[in-house]
Amino acid sequence: MNLREHREALENELLSPYAARSTETRGRVRPEEKCDIRTEYQRDRDRILHCKAFRRMKHKTQVFISPEGDHYRTRLTHTLEVSQIARTIARALRLNEDLTEAIALGHDLGHTPFGHSGEKVLNDLYDGGFEHCAQSIRVVERLEKDGQGLNLTWEVKNGILNHRTAGHPATLEGKVVQLSDKIAYINHDIDDAIRAGVLREEDIPRDLVEMVGNRSSKRIDSMIRDTVYHSLGQNDIVNSPEMKKAMGDLRAFMFRKVYTDERSLREGQKVERMIRDLFGYFMEHPDQMQQEFLNLMAEGEAVDRTVCDFIACMTDRYAIAIYRKLFIPSSWGIY
């Protein structure tokens, strides 16, 4: 018995009856020889962790656009926080932690520069519509590895695609990530908003403070504990009615006080102009995109689809640099 088979045997022995087992995966689009050390889900986790799209997330906005400070979340730190919360829940419920981690690490690979502001603009500009969850699937199926994709298992891709509230993950591990994403962003967005001076801790409604806690670590702990203890022994991931309402109320509070803040909206308008100008320019000059995107068009991808991919892959700072190069006059001449 090799190391992978030993790990698979441990899964069969130790995991919950409701967990997804590596030996029962629906597999990959392109069959591959199995690794003698890692399970299928461990391989997927490693592929995501080492891909270019994962590294780019460190320079993509989570909520606050171009913040002046080193401690605001980025898309990458958000992803790591989701992963840790999800792994804690999965371990407590005896679910497949490797599958959970792979989904969590890959769930935002397709996010645009400048967070949801960039996503909204691309959705308006591209006739096929744009959602970051679907773009994450395009990243792992088409854009990575010079157009070959990462060839992930069906379960990982299903969890990535369905991580938004409207999604319906096929595995409990996918449902854990779906909920962990909410737990993470509700709490770290409050933390970042307080740091930015947009929000004060005392602004949070008292009934919610009494329900979930008066600081970030306490709120996260309360939400994780509620999830674990109400999901034990069930073929579902659920919260108590009280916690579900509190999380919904906190999210609604953040929309009123932070996500629609005047400063946020003002910066979002700048993002819209930038993305619109870049999209228009590369639609007219597609030959000026990077070679990997020219290769996509040479293989039959439509120009607008490829321009959408190109812009979605940009980091905040790369988009700003390209915009400055294309649209901002440079100093020249002899003095």
Q: Per-block average pLDDT, block size 10, for the chain (335 residues)?
A: 94 97 98 97 98 97 74 92 98 98 98 94 96 98 96 98 96 98 95 89 93 93 98 97 96 89 81 97 98 97 98 97 93 62
Phi, psi angles (nearest 5°) of residue 41: -75, -30
Query: Cβ atoms within 10 A of the Cβ of 158, count?
Result: 21
Q: What is the CA radius of gyration of the chain?
A: 21
- For position 332, what pLDDT does the model report? 64
Return all residues near 255 (Cβ < 8 A) that are at least 6 apart: none
- For position 66, what pLDDT does the model report? 67
- For position 208, what pLDDT does the model report? 94
- For position 253, what pLDDT does the model report? 94
Q: Two tokens at 317?
A: 């700072």
Return all residues near 278 (Cβ < 8 A) that are at least 6 apart: 311, 319, 322, 323, 326
- For position 62, what pLDDT does the model report? 86
- For position 98, what pLDDT does the model report? 98
Q: Are 220 and 229 in contact (CB under 8 A)?
A: no
Residue 72 CA, chain-centre distance (Å), reads 16
Return all residues near 125 (Cβ < 8 A) that are at least 6 apart: 275, 276, 279, 308
- For position 261, what pLDDT does the model report? 73
